[in-house]
Amino acid sequence: MDWLRDHLWEAWLGAAFVLALAELLSLDLFLLMLAGGALAGVATALVTDNVVVQVLVASAASVLLLAAVRPQLVRRLHGGPELVLGPASLVGSRGIVTEPVSEHRPGRVKIGGESWLAVAEPAGSALGVGETVEVVSIVGATAHVRPVSAPELEEPR
């Protein structure tokens, strides 16, 4: 026990090292923040021999790192752009009507260089050849489209 009392800064440094190594297994950035607190304990141990002060400083530094630094690191490292693949990536894109779309008969629309079976949204509207449309949704192999000039439907209040 005397060795620990005489070598407090080495004990804090060892704790920081062990926590940093354990972080490599978890990859949650939690143990890394505790290792940062242990490094604050190293700095405090170099200044004072009071163990209570060292523990308080290490704890405060760990809590500060967990509250202020970790959320930003997690957001930066684990976040990214949402990747949309397949037909869902066509939603919101524009196309040209190649075969007329009527109320009871689907037509064809060229979207992104591909020809799609299309129905009009809202139901009942007719689209002529050459009209520009916007893809509202893709259901199976059918594109639900609306004319670009059509006003957005208002939601009931």
Cβ pair 49, 7 in contact under 8 A: no
Residue 38's H or E segment, with its range, is helix 30-47
Q: Is the pLDDT of residue 25 over 80?
A: yes
3 state SS of 130: coil
Structure tokens at 118: 């299309």
pLDDT, one tens digit per residue, over 101-138 is 887 889 999 998 899 999 988 777 889 999 999 999 99
Superfamily of domain 86-147: Nucleic acid-binding proteins (2.40.50.140)
- The ranges assigned to domains in the chain are 2-78, 86-147
pLDDT at position 23 is 94
Chain centre to alpha carbon of residue 67 = 19
Q: Is the pLDDT of residue 77 over 50?
A: yes
Using pLDDT thresholds of 50, 70 and 90, give the confidence band for residue 151. low
Structure tokens at 119: 């129905």
Q: Is the pLDDT of residue 47 over 60?
A: yes
Question: Strands (DSSP E) along the chain, which ranges?
Answer: 94-99, 107-111, 114-120, 132-139, 142-147
Using pLDDT thresholds of 50, 70 and 90, give the confidence band for residue 72. very high
